[in-house]
Amino acid sequence: MVMKSFRGKTPQLGDRVWVDDNAVIIGDVTIGEDSSVWPLVAIRGDMHRIRIGARTSIQDNSCLHITHASTYKPEGHPLDIGDDVTVGHMAMLHGCTIGNRVLVGMGTTILDGAVIEDEVIIGAGSLVPPGKRLETGFMYMGSPVKQIRPLNAKEIEYFQYAGLNYVKLKDEYLAEAKAESEISR
């Protein structure tokens, strides 16, 4: 993995976090315990902060960035991601807020100032426009996203399964990395 300090801020990783060797994390980034960052992910907290909660999985080729402060948007937009979130492959998250127990489908783009409340599913390939708010307990799809329907009990249960499944997988990666390290000594 590549971890770089920028403007005096160094990425901070919680306990038992897995970051793939081919991921890049820069600047003011904090990642909560038991989370995972998979191959070719870029997390760039260079001009604002990025906070990622516990048991959150950021999957392959995703790009996480912020909106810097400017005359257009004086306070900018940080990127905040809650606990038990699964971010699918090739997602683009830019200066938005994502609550807890959210599934962001593969190839989804979420733009500046968007707010995703808790327990939301966003279908693959969706576009969440700037400033859009997605309400708790619904599935959204499309470009731009539209509310499709309420989540059912099985989908709500899936949030916990998905989070724990990625915790288990990253634990396997951590164990193998530790074993390889001990062998090379």
- Pairing between β-strand 138-142 and β-strand 120-122 as defined by DSSP bridges: parallel
Question: 104, exposed or middle or buried, with CB in 10 Å at 0-12, 13-18, 19+?
Answer: buried
Question: 82, exposed or middle or buried, with CB in 10 Å at 0-12, 13-18, 19+?
Answer: buried
Reported as a single tens digit per residue, the pLDDT across 136-152 is: 999 999 999 999 999 99
Query: What does the pLDDT profile of the chain (185 residues) look like in tens digits?
Result: 899 999 999 999 999 999 999 999 999 999 999 999 999 999 999 999 999 999 999 999 999 999 998 888 889 999 999 999 999 999 999 999 999 999 999 999 999 999 999 999 999 999 999 999 999 999 999 999 999 999 999 999 999 899 899 999 999 999 998 988 888 77
What domains, with CATH codes, occur in the chain?
2-183 (2.160.10.10)
Assess contact for 29 and 58: CB atoms under 8 A.
Answer: no
Residue-level pLDDT at 69: 87
Full-model pTM:
0.95
Distance CA 99, CA 58 (A): 14
Question: CB within 8 A of 61, min separation 6: which ones?
Answer: 39, 40, 41, 89, 90
Residue-level pLDDT at 72: 85
